[in-house]
């Protein structure tokens, strides 16, 4: 796992087409903005897990 430090307003690039920007930090909460092509699905981990369960690709915990 790559661990990076960023401050509000700074960005991380993933490949040529995806960027993640730190929008705000409030206590333990961090807000990110994700720019990605429309054909790339971007989900929070808990939402992605529910989708996988619904599609039968993994078992519910």
Q: How is the chain split into domains, by residue range?
A: 11-54
Q: Give the bridge partners for 13, in sequence order.
A: 19
55: left (phi over 0), alpha (psi -120 to 50) or beta: alpha
In this predicted structure, the answer to whether residue 61 has a pLDDT above a threshold of 80 is no
Q: Give the bridge partners for 20, in sequence order.
A: 12, 34
49: left (phi over 0), alpha (psi -120 to 50) or beta: alpha
23-40 pLDDT per residue, tens: 999 999 999 999 999 999
| Confidence (pTM) | 0.79
Mean pLDDT of the residues in the chain: 94
């Amino acid at each position: 796992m790559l661990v990076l430090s960023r401050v509000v307003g700074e960005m991380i690039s993933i490949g040529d087409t995806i960027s993640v920007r730190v929008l705000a930090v409030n206590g333990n909460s961090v807000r990110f903005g994700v720019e990605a092509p429309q054909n790339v699905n971007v989900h929070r981990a808990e939402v992605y897990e529910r989708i996988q369960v619904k599609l039968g690709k993994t078992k519910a915990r």
